[in-house]
Structure 1
Amino acid sequence: MPAIDPVELTARLVRCASVTPANEGALEIVEEVLSQAGFNCVRVDRGGICNLFARWGARGNGKAFGFNGHTDVVPVGNPDDWSMPPFGAEIKDGVMYGRGTTDMKSGVAAFVAAAVDFVRDTPPDGSVVLTITGDEEGDGVDGTAALLDYMAENGERMDACLVGEPTCPEKMGDMIKIGRRGSMSAWFKVIGTQGHSAYPHRANNPLPAMVRLMDRLASHELDRGTDHFDPSTLAVVTVDTGNPASNVIPRSCSAAVNIRFNDTHSGASLTAWLEQEVAQIRDAFGVEVEMKIKISGESFITPPGALSALVATAVAAETGVTPELSTTGGTSDARFVKAHCPVVEFGLVGQSMHQVDEHVVVEQIHQLKAIYGRILRDYFA
């Protein structure tokens, strides 16, 4: 079996218009490649989401290294804004264009190609496990979480895992993610009494209450950062009354905030703080306040150690760059994997992800495969 070309495999995946939660044949392509190489492949579809579990090696035999990634992508927006077909995987001047080229079909192609070549050339005394979902860009409820549930129910395991998300901000090799901030959103509705703006004493205007609440939340210092995390942030993302009239005091007003938090906090502790702030506004202004919370993920950290050193050594060897260990950025499926085993993230330069004309330098796909292959060789050495 010839070596797997990660660029060709990336192109095949990009041509699948797998806008989350659609699959459009992407996982079938990966399953075919892995099955031909002797991987035991199981579809772990749940809730209408397509997922793939693949393992080379006997279950429970020796140590197990895992890769995690996703084949779903975000919408393309207006296709007319693209200079290249969004699902064409066309290459121009050494650059491949298309939705998912960076986030993260190249990453999946690179670790699939590296894993296949590795088990064929130097069969390890252990297992190589790949978990690939079609629901990272969506709600995440039935994606990697479903794969980990399947593993727990069937005695499957990873002793360490690398998530292949784009992690490098400027150049190939400059950053490894060893943790992520938590993320939560809160929606508020303040309800007062509607009235004529000329007679404000006959109404109970919800707007001053909402403005005070948003100001208190936005001006509050959550923390000053920790050893591995920047300070937590709270952003007011919308305030809306839906009121077109200038002579009417509205009955209600809505707003929302998003919080990215470090290991000083938990979703529960921040929820308790928000409840206290809401109670103060409710009492001070005599209004009703409704609040809805969604916690997308808790903060986590894989302390610098054997796994981060393994990855950093491979990155430096293949790129000549010493990577920074970071916890910056948004959420990823590492937030689920961290409950199963130590996890870090390393992948491509992510500057064009989710943008019009998303693209990847072709040579970097080959480089990424080489890094992943070296990680496997060093791990099982």
Structure 2
Amino acid sequence: MIPIDSIVELASRLVATPSCAGIDPPQPVLSVVQTWLAENGLAPRLLDDPSGKPVAVLVENVGATPGPVLCLDACIDTAPAGDPSQWSAPPFSGTVRDGRLLGRGAADSKAGVAILAHVARHFAKSGLPRGTLHVLFDADEHTGRFGGVRAYLEAVGRPPDAASLGYPGNAGIVAGSRGFLRARLRFAGIAAHSGDAERRGVNALTKAAAFALRLADPVFPDVADAAFPFGPAATVTRIEGGEGFSVVPDLAVCHVDIRLTRSFDAAQATRWLEQIVHAVDAEAGIEIVDSWPAYVVPRDDRLVQSFTHAAGAAFGRPFAADVCGPSNIGNLLAAHGVPTVCAPGVSFGNMHAADEWADIASIGPVYAMYCEAALGFLSRP
């Protein structure tokens, strides 16, 4: 029997506990799920980041015999709630209305947290014949730091053999995504009074604009990757520089986001970026801020097969595995050698907007899928 009422009750309590990334402290919402797990006979661990701040809760189910380790992860922090007056119900009410759970984080991803907490309870009661199941709740995901996953990898020592991410949506199974390279560029100019008739200076923002125009319609090397037919991408996401109205800017800083494929990796992207930047200004500075590789989990991989079969049985329709353009925690895990999928989650609406909701009717199939997929993955030799 699927514990729908219990899942909704926990999800509502989680929504009613604000955990907006960078705004609310993570301890209260982590305490909600930690207490629930302990009251249901599990032994949750609170994980801290290097500064000592709590960033995640981890619970382990160890099977009767040794086998692979599977991690099921969902984020427990949320996007900001925005203007409460734009909501039809208070954003942290956890209201249930018309078959929907309303509130910030209802879809992304507190319904998923509640589901996975109950999956952990299920296996604590039924037992696992083989392998180990880790269930992780990350309170540092929406910041982009992914501190919960990083603390988890540090705590367990050896990375898991596979992982699944509990995002909302059930159109398919995401088994790969483009990576990224993020760079900060510095274009130097020569300051001058903007009204000076003789000493005109050199406008650093003009250089930055020239670079941005080159990236408006980028030309990439011919490096086709069949897994990513849409190819790489490059976007100028920020330009800053100048002060006031009467000074020619002597510094402009650009932020650049480049999306990678397996055949257009960080090294190739760096060389490509250098050529474009230095064609505009040979003296411009390039700082690589961060990079994650693209990844693809093969469709015949045991992880993909386990979730494809389980999702099909739970939802009553076929599921296909595909890749996506945006990156996710799977890229970070892939960099540690961990095959990762984004499993089907609850149906939803208005994610990161007013009146965010999760569909209660979709909770049952998601719960059933996770139970079947985890057992199938861990039990197969």
TM category (shorter chain) comes to: 0.7 to 0.9
Structure 1 residues 115 and 143, CA, compared in 2 at 3 Å: closer, same or farther?
closer
Q: What is aligned with 2:297?
A: 302
**Would you say the 8 A contact 1:177–1:327 is kept in 2?**
yes
CA-CA distance at 1:164 after TM superposition: 0.8
2: CA distance between counterparts of 1:37 and 1:128? 17
Residues 328-364 of structure 1 show CA distances to partners (whole Å, capped at 9, x for unaligned) of: 1423222232224322111234652211211111111
Say which is worse superposed, 138-147 or 347-356, in terms of deviation: 347-356
Give the alignment's TM-score, normalised by structure 2: 0.86
1:164 lines up with 2:156 in the alignment: no
* RMSD of Structure 2 on Structure 1 (CA): 2.7
2: CA distance between counterparts of 1:182 and 1:131? 23
Q: What is aligned with 2:36?
A: 33
1: CA distance between counterparts of 2:96 and 2:181? 39
Q: What is aligned with 2:181?
A: 184
CA-CA distance at 1:371 after TM superposition: 1.4
Structure 1 residues 174 and 142, CA, compared in 2 at 3 Å: closer, same or farther?
closer
Q: Where in structure 2 are the equivalents of 1:63-82 lying within 5 Å?
A: 63-82=68-87
Q: What is aligned with 2:46?
A: 43
Q: What is aligned with 2:320?
A: 324
CA-CA distance at 1:188 after TM superposition: 2.5
1: CA distance between counterparts of 2:250 and 2:260? 33
Q: Which runs of 5+ in 2 are unaligned?
A: none
**In the alignment, residue 219 of structure 2 is paired with which amino acid?**
E
Structure 1 residues 278 and 127, CA, compared in 2 at 3 Å: closer, same or farther?
same
Q: What is aligned with 2:374?
A: 376
**In the alignment, residue 164 of structure 2 is paired with which amino acid?**
L
**Secondary structure in structure 2 of the residue aligned to 1:131:** strand
1:19 lines up with 2:20 in the alignment: yes
Residues 47-73 of structure 1 show CA distances to partners (whole Å, capped at 9, x for unaligned) of: 324212211126983333320122111
2: CA distance between counterparts of 1:197 and 1:109? 63
**Equivalent of residue 366 in structure 1, options 364, 367, 370:** 364
Aligned residues: 368
1:262 lines up with 2:261 in the alignment: yes
Q: What is aligned with 1:311?
A: 307
CA-CA distance at 1:274 after TM superposition: 2.0
Q: Where in structure 2 are the equivalents of 1:76-115 lying within 5 Å?
A: 76-115=81-120
**Equivalent of residue 139 in structure 2, options 113, 123, 134:** 134
**Would you say the 8 A contact 2:174–2:324 is kept in 1?**
yes
**Would you say the 8 A contact 1:189–1:255 is kept in 2?**
yes
Say which is worse superposed, 73-82 or 19-28, in terms of deviation: 19-28
Q: What is aligned with 1:336?
A: 332
CA-CA distance at 1:87 after TM superposition: 1.0
**In the alignment, residue 271 of structure 1 is paired with which amino acid?**
T
**In the alignment, residue 211 of structure 1 is paired with which amino acid?**
A
Q: Percent identity?
A: 25
Structure 1 residues 319 and 3, CA, compared in 2 at 3 Å: closer, same or farther?
closer
Give the alignment's TM-score, normalised by structure 1: 0.86
CA-CA distance at 1:202 after TM superposition: 4.0
Structure 1 residues 317 and 24, CA, compared in 2 at 3 Å: closer, same or farther?
same
Q: What is aligned with 1:125?
A: 130
CA-CA distance at 1:207 after TM superposition: 3.7
CA-CA distance at 1:93 after TM superposition: 0.7
1: CA distance between counterparts of 2:258 and 2:54? 28
